[in-house]
Structure 1
Amino acid sequence: MLKTENLYRIEIIKPCTVSGILNGLFGGFYPFAEEDEYIKKNWGTIPAGTKGWVVKKWRKMYFSADENQPEIKLFTPTDQPYVLIPYSKIKDAYKKI
């Protein structure tokens, strides 16, 4: 079994669009369609201020957001807050903390 290795903590400093990845993962299903307009408008975007880890798994780097953040549902499904976002989507939009 391959282990996930936490490399360093980060904070997103500018919004990152990940909607193309989410559509592939969830088949274009938007689990928050009934929610407010802010969520509908920003679905698929990691907002500035989001914190998490850059992790290494399967010999590749990913972003893993902390679960208990108010806007995590903009880029994760309700029943699965642990989603690995490819590092390439956030590489120029974070700072180490």
Structure 2
Amino acid sequence: MNERRAVVQTTACALLLAGCAGMSTTEQRTLSGAAIGTGVGAAVGAATGDWGWAAGGAAIGAAGGYLYDQQKQKEQRAYQQGVQTGKSQAQKK
């Protein structure tokens, strides 16, 4: 029975991730974090017998994915600002 449940859950996750094509990077990274967190939480839940770990893992993973995305966006803005500064300095010479 547990194998059947695992197959169903894995298939459901695969179908959900297949629908990510039209999502923003923030949505994709948040969902990916939640999926990874759910997987880790489910593994811990299987070992301990407490399936609440899956929900906790999903929440922590989603938060981690969102924070990772925000950091990447901040880095991208800083890079673009540096490029623009470099271009303006090159034009002054």
TM bucket, shorter chain: under 0.3
> If each structure's strand is expressed as a fraction of its own residues, which one has the higher value?
1
Query: Highest Rg: 1 or 2?
Result: 2
> If each structure's helix is expressed as a fraction of its own residues, which one has the higher value?
2
Q: Taking CA–CA contacts closer than 8 Å with sequence separation of 6 or more, which of the two structures ends up with the larger relative contact order?
A: 1
TM-score relative to the length of structure 1: 0.22
TM-score relative to the length of structure 2: 0.22
